Amino acid sequence: MDKEAGCCSTHLIEGDGTFNGEGLDNFIKEVKLAECGLSYAVVAIMGPQSSGKSTLLNNLFHTNFREMDAYRGRSQTTKGIWMARCVGIEPCTIVMDLEGTDGRERGEDDTAFEKQSALFALAVSDIVLINMWCHDIGREQAANKPLLKTVFQVMLRLFSPRKTTLMFVIRDKTRTPLENLEPVLREDIQKIWDSVPKPEAHKQTPLSDFFNVEVVALSSFEEKEEQFKEQVASLRQRFFHSIAPNGLAGDRRGVVPASGFSFSAQQIWEVIKENKDLDLPAHKVMVATVRCEEIANEKYSFFVTNEDWCDLKDAVQSHLVPGFGNKLSSMIEASLSSYDEEATYFEDGVRSAKRKQLEEKLIQLVQPTYQLMLEHIQLETLNKFKKALEDALNGGQGFAKAAWNCTESFMTLFDEQCKDVAIKQAVWDSAKVRDKFSCEIDSHIAEVQTAKLAELNALYESKLKVALEGPVAALLEGGGDDTWLAIRKLFHQETKTTISDFSDALSGFEMDKKANEEMISNLEIFARGIVEGKTKEEAGKALYRMKERFTSLFNHDADSMPRVWTGKEDIRAITKIARSSSLKLLSVLAASRLDVDGDKIGDTLVLALVDHKKDKNTPMQDPLVSSTWEEVPATNTLITPVQCKSLWSQFQRETEYTITQAIASQEANKRNNNMLPPPWAIAAMFILGFNEFMTLLRNPLWLLVIFVGYLLFKALWVQLDISGEFSNGMLPGILSLSTKFLPTVTNLLRKLAEEGQKPVVTQPQVLGSNFQGVVSSSGSSGVTMENGNGTEYTSPTTHVKEQ
Binding residues for GTP: 47-54
Q: Which long-range contacts (CB under 8 A, 24 or more apart) does 437-444 make?
A: 437/378, 437/381, 437/382, 437/411, 438/411, 440/378, 440/382, 441/382, 441/385, 441/407, 441/410, 441/411, 444/382, 444/385, 444/386, 444/389
User: 217 with 137: CB under 8 angstroms?
Assistant: no
Give me the torsion for CA of 473, 477, 482, 485, rounded to 10°: 20
- Amino acid in the structure at residue 464: L
**DSSP conformation class of 209:** G
Q: Alpha-carbon torsion 302, 303, 307, 308, what sign? A: positive
**Contacts of residue 42, Cβ cutoff 8 Å, sequence gap at least 6:** 93, 94, 95, 96, 124, 125, 126, 127
Q: Count Cβ neighbours within 10 Å for each residue of 301-338 and write b for 16 or more, e otherwise.
A: eebeeeeebeebbeebeeeebeebbebbbebbeebbee
Spatial separation of the C-alpha atoms in residues 386 and 378, rounded to whole Å: 12
Q: Count Cβ neighbours within 10 Å for each residue of 175-198 and write b for 16 or more, e otherwise.
A: eeeeeebbeebeebbeebbeebee
- How far is CA 341 from each of CA 333, 348, 354, 795, rounded to the nearest angstrom? 12, 13, 14, 140
User: 467 with 502: CB under 8 angstroms?
Assistant: no
Spatial separation of the C-alpha atoms in residues 779 and 775, rounded to whole Å: 7
Spatial separation of the C-alpha atoms in residues 220 and 231, rounded to whole Å: 11
Spatial separation of the C-alpha atoms in residues 407 and 434, rounded to whole Å: 12
Q: Which long-range contacts (CB under 8 A, 24 or more apart) does 429-438 make?
A: 430/374, 433/374, 433/378, 436/378, 437/378, 437/381, 437/382, 437/411, 438/411
User: 408 with 376: CB under 8 angstroms?
Assistant: no
Cross-strand bridge partners of residue 166: 128, 213
Spatial separation of the C-alpha atoms in residues 404 and 393, rounded to whole Å: 12
Spatial separation of the C-alpha atoms in residues 486 and 480, rounded to whole Å: 10
* Burial class, 28, CB count within 10 angstroms (exposed 0-12 / middle 13-18 / buried 19+): buried
Spatial separation of the C-alpha atoms in residues 802 and 795, rounded to whole Å: 11
User: 50 with 104: CB under 8 angstroms?
Assistant: no
Spatial separation of the C-alpha atoms in residues 82 and 194, rounded to whole Å: 32
User: 78 with 53: CB under 8 angstroms?
Assistant: yes
User: 389 with 406: CB under 8 angstroms?
Assistant: yes
| Cα three-residue angle 697-701-704, rounded to 5 degrees | 105
- How far is CA 592 from each of CA 95, 596, 636, rounded to the nearest angstrom? 72, 9, 5
User: 303 with 335: CB under 8 angstroms?
Assistant: yes
User: 602 with 627: CB under 8 angstroms?
Assistant: no
Residues that constitute the known binding site: 47-54
Q: Is the N-terminal amide bond of 91 cis, ω within 30° of 0?
A: yes
**Contacts of residue 539, Cβ cutoff 8 Å, sequence gap at least 6:** 589, 590, 638, 639
Cross-strand bridge partners of residue 785: 793
> How many Cβ atoms sit within 10 Å of the Cβ of residue 458?
10
3-state secondary structure of 774: helix
Name the residue among 304, 299, 281, 305 with its Cα closest to residue 357: 299
